[in-house]
Amino acid sequence: MEASIEKNSLNFLEEIIENDLKTGVHKSIITRFPPEPNGYLHIGHAKSICLNFSLAKKYGGTTNLRFDDTNPTKEDVEYVDSIKEDIKWLGFTWKEEHYASDYFEQLYIWAENLIEKGLAYVDDQSLEEIRKNRGTVQTPGKDSPYRNRTPEENLLLFRQMREGVFEDGSKILRAKIDMAHTNMHMRDPIMYRILHTEHHRTGNKWCIYPMYDYAHGQSDSLERITHSICTLEFDIHRPLYDWFIEKLEIFPSHQYEFARLNLSYTVMSKRKLLQLVQEGFVSGWDDPRMPTICGFRRRGYTSESIRNFCESIGVAKRDNFIDVGRLEFSLREDLNKRANRVMAVLDPIKLVIDNYDETLCETMEAINNPEDESKGTRSLTFSNTLYIERDDFMEDAPKKYFRLALNQEVRLRYAYFVKCVSFEKDSNGNITVVHCTYDPQSRGGNSPDGRKVKGTIHWVDAKNCLNAEVRLFDRLFSNEMPEKVEEGKTFLDNLNKESLKIINNAKVETSLKDVKPLDKFQFERLGYFSVDYDSTCEKLVFNRACTLKDSWQNK
Ligand code: ATP
Ligand code: MG
């Protein structure tokens, strides 16, 4: 795990940018976030978004959003829309919105330039032959028999490729660099392939599509991106990025790499996330167990907590692994400040106060947020019949059990001291009712005569409460590194079978009657909860965003 970065020390990208601004290489900076619209954004993308947008903001620059839509077979407008929504929700505003597909014509013209300069050629080899003739890291590749076609011939063939004369896979355009280069990416990389496939933006206008390596740097250059920041696995592509820019003599964008975010207990490959969705292991891209931005949002994460997390882990130059607990910590810290406290009982049993007038209904004042006085107080009704958590009562309590047990006294939060005098069981031996007496002198939960109680428990008024469904989530994978599997197994074998538990008969206080999706609360002693999209006035539905670290007793 990374040591947390000191606030005023610069990360390596900030150092580069400060230097570029100081030496006058750039007067101002432009960054970009370049998602491929083939899936929903995940927490790794959030890291990249925070980095690109924050760097630009810090140095008075701007950030573009560019959809890297060069592969029509996997891309869709559904993804474009979700990506925009998620970036906005994270709290960032892009200056310009672009699509690599908007540059197809310019990219094509530049490809012809390279052909004319003798720097690109049409190859008729099959993909298999190309792969075979590329050689290995140890052995040089073999020149294609088509490598020495004249620029005139190449131009003619490339134009015919564009016109749709040839079938998919029958020809490609390659850069003519060096088949013996020590960097495999420089061994005459593919620039264009034929794909008779409709594109979600350009329709059927094109049947040849540029490869990532050819499209990306040129798109950066067109937008005059000064610092093109991507993840480490692209460092080996950088010579090619520079080669195209140099040969085309266009604006020199530069690529810089940082370590991608890896989180424990989390899978981040879009292909695998898509598989989880398509094969029904989760309810959708926004299932609250998914590491997607929309999943976190539905779960109850705030954009601040995600941004703070991304900031706190710093920017690394070498691959690292971050404990998912740090993300949860960031959420807890944020919700502690902003979430109002309420009382909810997830596994209710009845508590009857035998010496409390059964016709009486009192109201008790409760503090909404001890971290924020401006949130004020609310009233809770109180009667002789309450619900408490089943595990706040024990028939055979061990010595250190400070909650309710026979002859033991506890504080009911904001109400009274009660002492258990008896209990009832059903024929299966389950406790059904706990009987108590209360001390009228302890109103508000205050000790009447200096008498102390060790435990404080929460409750709701059984005569005046709401039913709710509560969804308890746990980590989606039971293994720290879900993608590390033995022969014959897949990451699916590491799914946590108990990642979702649904509680149907929770009881919550009536102050929650008008909640809206994504409203967030601390259920006292239980955790932070967020209202789900499925919630209605008839049936409230809450998602547990995270547990509380400490219960009151530990404080
Ligand atoms: P795929 O999973 O399809 O290989 P990808 O995760 O790289 O793709 P893109 O849509 O191409 O997805 O990513 C957009 C940007 O987000 C890229 O600049 C990429 O480097 C960055 N990015 C993706 N995953 C992470 C990650 N785990 N940590 C940091 N940045 C990431
Ligand atoms: Mg990518």
Q: Where along the chain do its domains lie?
A: 12-258, 284-338+468-546, 341-463
Residues 472-487 have a mean pLDDT of 94
CA of 213 to the centre of ligand 1 (A): 15
Q: What is the pLDDT of residue 3?
A: 46
Active site residue 409: no
CA of 231 to the centre of ligand 2 (A): 9
CA distances from 264 to 46, 478, 503 (A): 16, 10, 27
Burial of 469 by CB count in 10 Å (0-12 exposed, 13-18 middle, 19+ buried)?
middle
CA of 142 to the centre of ligand 2 (A): 29
Active site residue 36: yes
CA distances from 357 to 411, 412, 434, 439 (A): 19, 17, 17, 13
Single-letter residue type at 353: I
Residues 67-76 have a mean pLDDT of 91
Q: What is the pLDDT of residue 7?
A: 55
Q: Which candidate in 74, 147, 247, 260 is catalytic?
A: 260
Residues 113-124 have a mean pLDDT of 98
Active site residue 57: no
Q: What is the CATH number of domain 12-258?
A: 3.40.50.620
Residues 6+ apart with CB under 8 A from 538: none
Q: What is the CATH number of domain 341-463?
A: 2.40.240.10
Q: Which candidate in 36, 129, 304, 480 is catalytic?
A: 36
Total count of residues recorded for the chain:
555
Query: Which residue, 425, 412, 405, 404, is CA-closest to 384?
Result: 412
Give the residues surrounding ligand 1 with Cβ less than 6 Å away.
34-36, 38, 44-45, 47-48, 68, 230-231, 260-261, 268-270
Same fold flag, 284-338+468-546 and 341-463: yes
Candidates 1.10.645.10, 3.60.20.10, 2.40.50.140, 2.40.240.10; correct CATH number of 284-338+468-546? 2.40.240.10
How far apart are the C-alpha atoms of 185 and 350, rounded to whole Å? Answer: 69
Q: Dump pLDDT digits (tens) for 197-239.
A: 999 999 999 999 999 999 999 999 999 999 999 999 999 999 9
Atom index in ligand 1 nearest the CA of residue 268 equals 27
Q: What is the pLDDT of residue 320?
A: 85
Task: Report the C-alpha dihedral over residues 460, 465, 468, 470, rounded to 10 degrees.
Answer: -10
Q: Dump pLDDT digits (tens) for 493-509.
A: 999 999 999 999 999 99
Nearest CA to ligand 1 atom 16: 45
Question: Residue 5: is its pLDDT beyond 80?
Answer: no
Strand-pairing partners, residue 381, are: 363
Band of pLDDT at residue 552, cut at 50, 70 and 90: very low
Residues 6+ apart with CB under 8 A from 488: none
CA of 117 to the centre of ligand 1 (A): 34
What H or E segment, with its residue span, contains residue 48?
helix 43-58
Q: What is the pLDDT of residue 8?
A: 65
Residues 6+ apart with CB under 8 A from 550: none
CA of 69 to the centre of ligand 1 (A): 14
Q: Dump pLDDT digits (tens) for 232-290.
A: 999 999 999 999 999 999 999 999 999 999 999 999 999 999 999 999 999 999 999 99
Nearest CA to ligand 1 atom 14: 35
Strand segments, DSSP code E, in 400-526 are 404-405, 409-412, 417-425, 431-439, 456-457, 460-461, 465-473, 500-509, 520-523
Q: What percent of the chain has pLDDT over 70?
A: 97
Mode of pairing for the β-strands spanning 417-425 and 409-412: antiparallel
Atom index in ligand 1 nearest the CA of residue 269 equals 2
Question: Residue 2: is its pLDDT beyond 90?
Answer: no
Phi, psi of 390 (to 5 degrees): -55, -40
Nearest ligand to residue 74 Cα: 1
Claim: this prediction has a pTM higher than 0.85: yes
Mean pLDDT for the chain overall? 95
Residue 381 near residue 388 (C-beta atoms within 8 A): no
CA distances from 72 to 79, 102, 191, 212, 413 (A): 13, 13, 16, 12, 59
Nearest CA to ligand 1 atom 25: 44
Out of 211, 220, 260, 285, give the residue to mutate to test ligand 1, the one with the largest number of ligand atoms within 8 Å of its CB: 260
Residues 359-369 have a mean pLDDT of 97
CA of 1 to the centre of ligand 1 (A): 21
How far apart are the C-alpha atoms of 522 and 399, rounded to whole Å? Answer: 29
Residue 113 near residue 248 (C-beta atoms within 8 A): yes
CA of 223 to the centre of ligand 2 (A): 19
Nearest CA to ligand 1 atom 27: 44
Atom index in ligand 1 nearest the CA of residue 229 equals 18
Out of 38, 48, 232, give the residue to mutate to test ligand 1, the one with the largest number of ligand atoms within 8 Å of its CB: 48
Q: Dump pLDDT digits (tens) for 514-542.
A: 999 999 999 999 999 999 999 999 999 99
Q: Which candidate in 174, 270, 289, 307 is catalytic?
A: 270
Q: Dump pLDDT digits (tens) for 439-476.
A: 999 998 888 888 889 999 999 999 999 999 999 999 99
Residues 6+ apart with CB under 8 A from 165: none
Q: Dump pLDDT digits (tens) for 300-349.
A: 999 999 999 999 999 999 888 999 999 999 999 999 999 999 999 999 99
